[in-house]
Amino acid sequence: PVTRAYAAVDLGASSGRVVLGLVDHEAVTVHEVHRFPNVPVQQDGVLAWDVDALFAQTLTGLGAAVAECGRRGARLEGVGVDAWGVDFALVDDEGRRTGPVRSHRGVGDPRPLVAARGIDESEVYAATGVPDQAINTSVQLAAAVAAGEHAGDGLLFVPDLWVQLLTGQRGTEPTIASTSQLLDPRVDRWLPQLLEAHGAGGIRMPPVSELGAVAGRTTPDITARLGLSAPVPVIRVAGHDTASAFAFARPVERGARVEGLVSSGTWSLVGLPLAEPLTIEEALAAGFTNERGVDGVLLVRNLNGMWLLQQCLAHWAGEDGAPVPLGDLLAAAGAGPGHEAVLDVADERLLPPGDMPARIAVLCAEAGRPLDGSRADVVRAVLDSLAAAYADALGEAAALAGCTVGRVRVVGGGARNAVLCQLTADATGLPVTAGPVEASAIGNIAVQAVVSGARSTVEEVYQDLTGTGSDAVTYRPRGERHHDDHPGGHPVTSSTATTSS
């Protein structure tokens, strides 16, 4: 029988990649065929994503996936796109973009827009599951409309824009739509009264398909450019990269001992999968967002994650006139003495690009732990603070959900940061399993494999998974705080990432 193949386009806020998933009756293997950097640029005076360049890179990657299928005698049966949340394009009736796709890193002060909405945060939270955050689509859209941007246009989130460029079809699916603070995640419907309150009543919101629906087939132009002999279906996978990254997770039950989730990329998303949104006042006060997952919702905190290190490296590379290797800094930082949490990694002053070492120094001084001036100390302060923030978010999510966290799963590029994974094990007192690194691409492929009938459940895909980026390593807590049966020791490598205990 012919091997079935699925291409995942995974657009992260710091890099994009195209990953090919090959599925035969025994195994699911994943192969990265193309990777490219993603850096926001100034367009028309705003911080924006370079959509044209990113889409050109996507086509290069999909072309490489088609060629790889040819070499392996596999048949490409689907393409899926996932991307970072909240940001959007405005498009006219012909589907053409009418302005830049702004980056959430360039947003201004959201408070006047939130005040102008005239609806209390608790009411909006009860309806959408999303607290007031500077990056929300709702306030970004209010700002765009207030600036006179095409109030009659259609809105597409980033993965939806890609689907439209590939198929000509306009639409969305629940996971990316739920990052907006404009959707009711219980029924996956837009909330017209909230759009009105943001001055965006004239914006045409995309129809929300079911997860896994076929959006359409590649257009004749795309089919030819990719060297395909026939059009390929484009699937509405979990378009939010965080939902794809946690595709393996099933909702937790009250009273259970469960796996806590950390998606560690440019952002860190930390929490638990739930069957239903939890919109009680305590969840709002604790700063949790409820965004749709592949199954149920994800009760997570949005924390500035590897962004802090990315921006430090960029700043130091500017000072040195040469790239600064992350591995060397992590080795130096890992050697130093440990600390408690230093700074609040969710602080909104850390959101925009800029001189991150200086901002971190200010926050550390405010917290009463001045830095020693070395780069290693900056990195260590970030890692200590991230590990403590992960532990805190998992503890609070568990308290809200009425369960106990018994182990931690870290996925995404940050799973390769051994120092941070070890500090997370120490801070939580729990074993931390790190991987898969390419979790979003794998979740994207998993949904395609299930809807096309190559596997019956998402669990089966993960059971059969091998290949680059699918490995996992376990870290044991050091010191007094571990609650584990197997204390101490070095990381244990397991061949695949599974969700079994």
Residues acting as catalytic residues = 241
| For ligand ADP, the closer CB: 158 or 451 | 158
Decide: is 84 part of the binding site for ligand LRH (CB under 6 A).
Answer: yes
Q: Which two tokens stand for residue 37?
A: 């950097």
- CB neighbour list of residue 147: distance below 8 Å, 6 or more residues apart: none
Is 80 within 8 Å of 6 (Cβ atoms)? Answer: yes
Site for ligand ADP in 252-291 (CB under 6 A): 265-266
Residue 241 is a binding residue for ligand LRH (CB under 6 A)? yes
Annotate 345-354 with b (16+ C-beta within 10 A) or e (fewer).
bbbeebbbbe
Count the neighbouring beta carbons within 10 Å of the beta carbon of residue 433: 24
d(CA 326, CA 313): 7
Only one of the segments 157-165, 261-269, 460-468, 490-498 lies at the binding site for ligand LRH (rule: CB under 6 A); that segment is 261-269
The rounded Cα 236 to chain-centroid distance in angstroms is: 16
- Please, which residue, 20 or 145, has the CB nearer to ligand ADP? 20
On the 0-12 / 13-18 / 19+ scale of CB atoms within 10 A, 474 is buried
Give which of ligand ADP, ligand LRH, none residue 154 binds (C-beta under 5 to 8 Å, depending on kind).
Answer: none
Letters for 454-483 (x = contact with ligand ADP by CB under 6 A, - = none) are ------------------------------
Distance of CA 297 to the CA centre of its chain: 14
Nearer to ligand LRH, 164 or 181 (CB): 181
C-alpha triplet 134, 89, 195: angle, nearest 5°: 60
Nearer to ligand LRH, 240 or 455 (CB): 240
Binding of ligand LRH at residue 390 (CB under 6 A)? no
* DSSP structure string for 56-124: HHHHHHHHHHHHHHHHHTEEEEEEEEEE-SS-EEEE-TTS-B-S-EE-GGG----HHHHHHH-S-HHHH
Query: Stretches 48-56, 78-86, 230-238, 367-375: which one binds ligand LRH (CB under 6 A)?
Result: 78-86
191/181 Cα distance (integer angstroms): 9
**Choosing among ligand ADP, ligand LRH, none, which partner's interface includes residue 309 (Cβ < 5 to 8 Å by kind)?**
ligand ADP
Nearer to ligand LRH, 304 or 422 (CB): 304
> Residues 39, 214, 326, 367: which binds ligand ADP (CB under 6 A)?
326
Q: How far is the CB of 264 from ligand ADP (least distance, A)?
A: 7
Tell me if 85 contacts ligand LRH by CB under 6 A: yes
Residue partners of 250: CB distance under 8 A and separation at least 6? 273, 295, 296, 499
Interaction of residue 17 with ligand LRH, rule CB under 6 A: no
Q: Candidates 242, 264, 385, 448: give the one binding ligand LRH (CB under 6 A).
A: 242
Task: Kindly state whether residue 137 participates in binding ligand LRH, applying the rule CB under 6 A.
Answer: no
Burial of 458 (0-12, 13-18, 19+ CB in 10 A): buried
Contact residues: ligand ADP, CB under 6 A: 12-15, 265-266, 306, 309-310, 326, 412-414, 416-417
Residues that bind ligand LRH (CB under 6 A): 12-13, 84-86, 104, 135, 179, 240-242, 265-267, 269, 302
